[in-house]
Structure 1
């Protein structure tokens, strides 16, 4: 979903307690999220420059009032926006600024994010005397409230509410907008991204995972101590650290607190802690025993022949070495042979051939594959890529009975062959014409045989929380609280279809082994997973893991679970393992961790 930025200039009411055109910074910021001066031009606002942004299209500087008021709800800092012009100021300069007060919404107001109060169309004068920078406010577990957001009014928008920084984490951050803040010895909970950003926590005791992350374990477990760190320092002076989850930014990381559309509240660092490597290791699962069937799910993130050769190599090595060569793999985000080129290509045989050849070169089995080409541009994902789900399987361990009829539009049916369930097409898509699959990948059912026992596997990639061609979810840290989950109803309907398929198989054979695996783009505690598990047609063996180990994806510093493998009662006891090889590391092959189940049919 494309994002934009919105600058809102509103007519301002009169501001009590201040000269009409010459307020202090804290008077401009006010005690809510919207400035009482929005839309007005102010003059001679005093401050000390604390940081300068000299790159990109949003250049400018932060300044802070050296004479703060006694109200903890009013910020003493503000950003002065200069566009593509580099301002002629340095940290420590005393300035008086005149400009227009506006509210800037990174990502656009419709995205639901917070606004940033700033001065635009600015002019300033400097005094001769330099000044020491204001002391940075320390963020830690003692300062950050346990409650995340205030109760909303007016349709869920918290903008009109008076800030209560002692009660709510989002209010605390808003009350510090533009001010120098710092974290000490900050634990990394989200690895360094390709944009040179890293997520840390100011409270390492907040819902920790065993590997150093912070667990998102419920809609009320937002983890308010998370904060993003980016740098205002030139790379040639201090390169940005390449951090993994569990590492630490040792010492002080400090700078003005900002808000952006790709991660909420962020420290724009002028002081950057030194990376302390915790040596996080990539996991390896055990090999399946002779009588065990192993089934894995792996989102390979937009794989096509145009992907770097190293990606095929690393994916193959992970399948062989880290996942112990599973018997069956449900693979998500397999692109067509031309990758992101929007040229009408839908076939993916070259993509899968390169992947299976790489697996064999890595010492793994000679995997065969099955999949169904989608209609061009019908299944969402990267434009032109035509992503789909597919099966890899080891023909030395399992067999696959091909039946004609499987195509992009034909629904697979479960037939009763003398008390034995059988798919009308193998593989076949589950109700591909149903509206639930609009602009989304269609679930693919496959019938396998292992040691004489039928096993039905459904490969899934439910609709994105980002929305794709449809409306996405509102941000966790936005001004709409609780955030609306616009994408959720579609996933619920998709889950109902897969649940219905499992019931159809079990209506023929109550002891049938059915596995629904893949990237479901939703949490273990979500209504989508509840719909998939309805009437106990399928259950989640992930639930047997310790609660703090139920994750395989890291987003904005929260470790969470989006990939699942559910099983029918006929499967029996299941050994479930999430194999952490990607999501916690800055050098990822995919943004998802694979997972694997093992059982004895």
Structure 2
């Protein structure tokens, strides 16, 4: 890593050679240019090298040393990317042995937080550099096998030694499905061909507790010392370097590979690249991997018994209607597309979730579209020969600029809705960079007081549900916006904590369930401990950049902490499973908890499933959380 940090102060004079002499200079091997560190010792210098063209893409090509000509050093890469800006010359044909000149660059690809490792590449300039064909139809170098042993050091740079080289993963286990670009108006998607996997046999990666290591490793020495002194309790999340990002459309001629999580692909072959803080394999266009197996993550959830009630949280993801509402920048969905979305959600609620008694929903445009959804579910249930659940919709408009709101679907065939009330709509705060106070709660918490009748006694079992949709991570690590975003997330968490504490103090017997999309993990990320603050267990002052006081007593319980670690995810981001959708309950409700889990219907499935109205998968990008509560408290033993 020392070489990486040296880049910040390293400067070298540009050295250019006239076109007449570009092939007169001494040639360097690709491995010599790459070196055994992150950055090349020849950065910004003009070089000459040769190799076999192994792959092409829209703005360059990959070059690799022929087999038998390598330097026998396992720490140096024998491949390199040659950047041409425009489509590369026909002289750089796959299988041709060529000699080139160009300038060595350390290119930093896109990353979610702006901090990323560089890619060593050679930039060719049309008015200066040329390609010389040495031989055609040369066999491509044999791909290097990627195994679990390559990740034993848990290093961010472990695969640097393969950068630009042909590689093969004998068995790749897909941990996050193929993504795509969603057209919400049409309810269609265009596959982006990208997914994530690990070497078969390795564990599924999860977002761990702590500060993202990519926000730390690029700090200067003095910045690190200051960081550690001010926040000695902050732990680092290692980023899960065992993740492999797969791009099936990354090379010329590629076709999308659409796969679900749980799929095993055999002999996945391509070129090792780097993007979005992840080593990335650009798959060979002509060598599509075979599917060697599939382990479904779907578990059919049970229906609540007559002595239970089920409560769920669903992120409907941009659930807009087909009506143009003035003053709102919403998507005006085509009628057929809306019908398809409603059919997918209805299938999920009826078949995958077994019609929970209360569903807290987020990202619904208005009460009218939520009522249409309720009517659709009710009608479909009757058509399928099931009892009419008589779902009723409740929603209050909030402050969101796109018009998405929180609401409820209440199964009135069994549940009595006593009160629905919104909190904090008019709450404002002074946001850094804003000339006036802004709304704290874009989607204010919506509270439902309800009851279920005991079938034996007829007595009502009262409970309260609060549905939440807190500030997203957008701008969380953007230097221009992060102060405002982080403050808002902290204040939202504190507002919710105070709301619950006020109710607990007013009525210690009130049984409260908080659910929804909290846009935060079950642990501190080292920046803001949103969930810990809401629970009454905030991170220590020295263990988080934006600490909160303990505002809740007695503490709340997050039901996700009660399930197996392998099931603790409701969303996949960059190949990491993570929980954003929580169900947090007051301590007095814990004895009544009889189960909790996630309806595996979205996070593990490719975006290509979204347009298929006949199947429930991918109506959203979040899995639904569902909790089961008994009418009878568990007996405790002394």
TM-score, normalised on structure 2? 0.72
Is 1:230–2:247 an aligned residue pair?
yes
Task: Check 1:266–1:139 CA distance in 2 against 1; reply closer, same or farther (3 A cut).
Answer: same
CA distance in 2, matches of 1:232, 1:127: 29
Is 1:396–2:396 an aligned residue pair?
no
**Do the aligned partners of 1:140 and 1:225 also contact (CA within 8 Å) in 2?**
no
Q: What's the Cα RMSD here?
A: 3.1
CA distance in 2, matches of 1:355, 1:278: 33
CA distance in 1, matches of 2:195, 2:113: 26
| Displacement after TM superposition at 1:441 (Å) | 3.2
Mapping of 1:77-156 within 5 angstroms? 77-88=79-90, 89-107=92-110, 111-120=114-123, 121=125, 122-147=129-154
Task: Check 1:488–1:523 CA distance in 2 against 1; reply closer, same or farther (3 A cut).
Answer: farther
**Do the aligned partners of 2:311 and 2:626 also contact (CA within 8 Å) in 1?**
yes
Q: Which residue of 2 aligns with 1:592?
A: 622
Task: Check 1:569–1:431 CA distance in 2 against 1; reply closer, same or farther (3 A cut).
Answer: farther
Q: Which residue of 2 aligns with 1:179?
A: 165
Is 1:533–2:548 an aligned residue pair?
no
Mapping of 1:287-366 within 5 angstroms? 287-305=303-321, 306=333, 307-334=337-364, 336=365, 348-363=366-381, 365-366=389-390
CA distance in 1, matches of 2:555, 2:404: 28
> 1:519 aligned to 517, 520, 525, which one?
517
Q: Which residue of 2 aligns with 1:415?
A: none
> 1:427 aligned to 422, 428, 435, which one?
422
Task: Check 1:138–1:473 CA distance in 2 against 1; reply closer, same or farther (3 A cut).
Answer: farther
CA distance in 2, matches of 1:568, 1:26: 60
Is 1:265–2:279 an aligned residue pair?
yes
Task: Check 1:487–1:26 CA distance in 2 against 1; reply closer, same or farther (3 A cut).
Answer: farther
Task: Check 1:73–1:277 CA distance in 2 against 1; reply closer, same or farther (3 A cut).
Answer: closer
> 2:31 aligned to 17, 26, 30, which one?
26
> 1:578 aligned to 553, 574, 598, which one?
598
**Do the aligned partners of 2:249 and 2:255 also contact (CA within 8 Å) in 1?**
no
CA distance in 2, matches of 1:297, 1:218: 23
1:335-360 superposed Cα distances (whole Å, 9 cap, x missing partner)? x3xxxxxxxxxxx1332133222212
CA distance in 1, matches of 2:10, 2:27: 18
CA distance in 2, matches of 1:376, 1:520: 15
1:188-221 superposed Cα distances (whole Å, 9 cap, x missing partner)? 111122211221211x3333xxxxx444454546
Q: Which residue of 1 aligns with 2:259?
A: 243
Residue 280 of structure 1 aligns to a residue in which SS? coil
**Do the aligned partners of 1:188 and 1:200 also contact (CA within 8 Å) in 2?**
yes
| Displacement after TM superposition at 1:222 (Å) | 4.0
CA distance in 1, matches of 2:89, 2:483: 40
Task: Check 1:321–1:80 CA distance in 2 against 1; reply closer, same or farther (3 A cut).
Answer: same
Residue 502 of structure 1 aligns to a residue in which SS? helix
Is 1:197–2:216 an aligned residue pair?
no
Is 1:60–2:90 an aligned residue pair?
no
Is 1:471–2:476 an aligned residue pair?
yes
CA distance in 1, matches of 2:530, 2:76: 41
CA distance in 2, matches of 1:435, 1:454: 38
> 1:253 aligned to 256, 259, 268, which one?
268
**Do the aligned partners of 2:193 and 2:249 also contact (CA within 8 Å) in 1?**
no
| Displacement after TM superposition at 1:313 (Å) | 0.5
**Do the aligned partners of 1:13 and 1:36 also contact (CA within 8 Å) in 2?**
no
Is 1:41–2:61 an aligned residue pair?
no
Q: Which residue of 2 aligns with 1:416?
A: none
Q: Which residue of 2 aligns with 1:373?
A: 397
1:253-276 superposed Cα distances (whole Å, 9 cap, x missing partner)? 122111123x62111111331123
CA distance in 2, matches of 1:217, 1:280: 24
Residue 149 of structure 2 aligns to a residue in which SS? coil
CA distance in 1, matches of 2:446, 2:112: 38
CA distance in 1, matches of 2:111, 2:298: 38
CA distance in 1, matches of 2:361, 2:59: 43
Residue 294 of structure 2 aligns to a residue in which SS? coil
Q: Which runs of 5 or more residues in structure 2 are unaligned?
A: 1-7, 16-23, 180-190, 211-236, 322-332, 382-387, 432-438, 454-459, 537-552, 610-617, 632-638
CA distance in 2, matches of 1:450, 1:580: 27
**Do the aligned partners of 1:10 and 1:38 also contact (CA within 8 Å) in 2?**
no
**Do the aligned partners of 1:463 and 1:521 also contact (CA within 8 Å) in 2?**
yes
Residue 502 of structure 2 aligns to a residue in which SS? helix
Is 1:496–2:510 an aligned residue pair?
no
Q: Which residue of 2 aligns with 1:461?
A: 469
TM-score, normalised on structure 1? 0.76
**Do the aligned partners of 1:502 and 1:538 also contact (CA within 8 Å) in 2?**
no
**Do the aligned partners of 2:14 and 2:45 also contact (CA within 8 Å) in 1?**
no
Q: In proportion to residue count, which structure has more helix?
A: 2
| Displacement after TM superposition at 1:145 (Å) | 2.3
Q: Which residue of 1 aligns with 2:225?
A: none
Q: Which residue of 2 aligns with 1:422?
A: none
**Do the aligned partners of 1:283 and 1:581 also contact (CA within 8 Å) in 2?**
no
Count of residues in Structure 1 that have an aligned counterpart in Structure 2: 503
CA distance in 2, matches of 1:485, 1:49: 47
**Do the aligned partners of 1:10 and 1:39 also contact (CA within 8 Å) in 2?**
no
Q: Which runs of 5 or more residues in structure 1 are unaligned?
A: 1-7, 148-167, 208-212, 337-347, 378-384, 404-425, 475-483
Q: Which residue of 2 aligns with 1:406?
A: none
CA distance in 2, matches of 1:197, 1:540: 33
Task: Check 1:562–1:108 CA distance in 2 against 1; reply closer, same or farther (3 A cut).
Answer: closer
Q: Which residue of 2 aligns with 1:188?
A: 174
| Displacement after TM superposition at 1:573 (Å) | 2.5
Task: Check 1:36–1:308 CA distance in 2 against 1; reply closer, same or farther (3 A cut).
Answer: farther
**Do the aligned partners of 1:226 and 1:557 also contact (CA within 8 Å) in 2?**
yes
1:509-537 superposed Cα distances (whole Å, 9 cap, x missing partner)? 11211111011122222232221211443
**Do the aligned partners of 2:398 and 2:442 also contact (CA within 8 Å) in 1?**
no
